[in-house]
Amino acid sequence: MTVRATSRALAAAATALLALGGVAACSDGGGGGSDPDKVDVVAAFYPLQFLAERIGGDRVVVDNLTKPGAEPHDLELNPRQVGQVVDAELIVYLTGFQPAVDEAVAQNGGDRAFDVAGVAPLRDAAAGGHEHEGEAGHEEESGGKDPHLWLDPTRLAKVGDRLAERLGRADPDHAADYTARAGALRAELATLDTGYAEGLRTCQRREIVTSHAAFGYLAERYRLEQIGLTGLTPESEPSPQRLAEVAAEAREHRAGTIFFETLVSPKVAETIAREVGARTAVLDPIEGPPAEGDYLSAMRANLKTLRTALDCS
């Protein structure tokens, strides 16, 4: 073995030992300071945190692995976060969305893991709209499935019902409370769904040009057509050919607004907007916590933005 190879091997071994030590430190004492009278829940990213907190109420302590302002697609876990996964009584995640979380769950999750992707079949990444073959994204990682199911309130309600069941299994004495809170949230999500259906029923346009293809579930539910600049991963850079294609489609559909999102640079959206003489606006995929309010208020803000952009009556 060469000196360089030996050094690399020693460095890798040291990193592994540090990680194991960090996990052990986090695991000492059964949860690192969590309330022993409550259910310790780890949520992989914000919409799952929202569900766990709303349905769990004061019976749960929820840790979100994705910190505010971070892009959840490319999350890397530190030893402390792996320790949270080890110690959690329930791990709520979405397979195929965050590879680092998938790996941690596979190694440490056991029967404490709740994969929300299994609640209902995920839509194909390229189903409908203008999501073109060859766009960069999570197509390879997630088997060609779109993970952004929370942008359809009816799907999120189904996930909430299943989450209530899992919490009830972890804390049987309060199972009825979890079921009741899930029912209350389902009613709020049904109201949100009705608001979207009515608010987007009559619009001058039905095409939405987005910075990345996160809005397939929303588009499918409310009869819109998504034109994504990139695939499912927001960091992927569109090719010059793709930019030209989107600009041509935006002109064809007379798109007056090009949407960008909260956690990603607006530069590409601004480039297209200048090219076609459109304005830009934020359409939040709600992958991270909103600056104000919660999932419900962010979805209502998205509806208001869409109604303005699509000239809905």
List of long-range contacts for 158-162, beta carbons under 8 Å, 24+ apart = 158/119, 158/120, 159/51, 159/116, 159/119, 160/51, 160/54, 160/55, 160/185, 160/186, 160/189, 161/186, 162/114, 162/116, 162/119
Instruction: Return the minimum-mean-pLDDT range out of 110-114, 127-131, 228-232, 302-306.
Output: 127-131
Specify the DSSP class assigned to residue 64.
Answer: E
pLDDT at 234: 58
Q: What is the Cα gyration radius of the chain?
A: 21
What tens digit of pLDDT does each residue of 197-239 get?
999 999 999 999 887 789 999 999 999 999 877 655 555 566 7
What tens digit of pLDDT does each residue of 7-34 get?
333 333 333 334 444 444 344 333 444 6
pLDDT at 275: 78
Residue given tokens 């994705």 in the structure block:
66
CB 229 within 8 A of CB 250: no
pLDDT at 254: 79
pLDDT at 189: 98
Angular region, 51: left φ>0, alpha ψ -120 to 50, beta rest: alpha
CB 214 within 8 A of CB 229: no
pLDDT at 244: 79
DSSP string covering 206-261: -EEEESSS--HHHHHHTT-EEEESS-S-TTSPPPHHHHHHHHHHHHHTT--EEEE-
Per the prediction, the chain carries an average pLDDT of 82
Asked if residue 2 has pLDDT above 80, the reply is no
pLDDT at 213: 84
What tens digit of pLDDT does each residue of 137-167 get?
434 334 488 999 999 999 999 999 999 999 9
Instruction: Return the minimum-mean-pLDDT range out of 174-183, 214-223, 264-273.
Output: 264-273
* Single-letter code of the amino acid located at 3: V
